[in-house]
Structure 1
């Protein structure tokens, strides 16, 4: 039993190494692209837990004590990295904000139904991306009774129960995009418990192909957004958006290094038919994102996410 399963044991140690030292996996070496290998690994990092489960089954079939002992390493690493997300949500605080983030899809055939579904969660703020006419009119009409304040810039918008002021577009357009492109806004929400700067953004899509991960536009846009957040004078900030990246992806480091991410909840949001990753994010500064969850599917290829934010 001690001599069987050495290959499985080696794979278990490798899995643990990838979990713990994923930042060491490069995207390129000496200027030669590796297809964004590191960023691609980080995009699906939690799924390495499934690899450990498969190895566990094989180790049991092989009756390999060596492999079973080695599997303690990836299981401990995964629990350390992601186990906290599985904890149940805490009781909401009196000053918490409930926010919803959703890429509604420019091909959504039921914008009114989508708007009703999002409002049904009872959030204070609703951030939407891929707003295009004539669907925008349907969102505005349907959400107006419960959300009298709203702002739209380009293809992103924010609906609020509380007054909004100081709204302006965000310049997060990558340099090589020459056509009109507006996917970010900043506004201030005047909540009963103080002002909150709200950012809504839709970063460029990434592409995964035979050459690997193409994320340069997304990364550039994330850097611009990170600079804007860093310069924000209002103490409390909430960022809602389709960031086309997970919180473990190094491409979002300009944001995750400055903002808190969800403490509890997994909320895989894309693709809606079989969610593999959460690329729809809620982050905050001087506040905690205490829990995040998905809402039922709408007419979009993304699932909406709802998060509770506790001001610090």
Structure 2
């Protein structure tokens, strides 16, 4: 069985072809960073227009790289939500039209569910059930994953998502967009103990996250340093900020594991590619005797291969979409 998957939830136009055995035959991603960098963030209207330009060539490239034709495809899967509605509609409508014209089944995939299942595309796969942390620019949430279709949310961010906090701090430090990778790079040469930025633990029982206070603390620190005419120790600020985020993410994830009793941990989402987070979570899981499963960095950021594997399980359960099905901006999982 061959699955053509399409992803357009935000600012990346992506398509992939996978097989049920979770082998990725092709994965193509067209980035829009060069469009949005001048604005310091994503401009939804510009993102939608770019998706319209790129959706057809990206799908054709994915089919060509996989060495297959559209006639060989057995299922089309596309992101149905959450995300920017204008962006979502481009990919989702294209997928529905393609399926209708070619008399193919079509499934709509929740973007967050795809992140929760992205590890199933790797050679080493977790067994169900497991505890999962999804951490990205739009979401920071903890889930109990019972099977490929059953997810129970344990905690979520109350304000900024972790990736959003990274981007806002990067903008504060004039590091450009997207800011997460640049903060991570600069942090490698900084001292994470230079600044004692706050860790928002919330209540003892809470598995929710809050990063707005941390962002405000970094802004206050930068403002104070600038008033003294000192050169900003940017690597130290980046390292200290990153460590504050990672500490909370790791602590909450381990607390969620204790609550579920599951011995496997999965991470996903764009921030899951952060080297410091991967190292810290790996160390803590080893100490606690837990198995950690991390998708490769290419499968952490938005991609269509993860949409394909999540779509496969939608197909097995008989959950199809029709021509009237609509995209949604907010996930029922969050």
- TM-score clears 0.5: no
* Structure of higher RCO (CA pairs closer than 8 Å, 6+ residues apart): 2
TM-score by length of 1: 0.29
TM-score by length of 2: 0.28
Larger radius of gyration between Structure 1 and Structure 2: 1
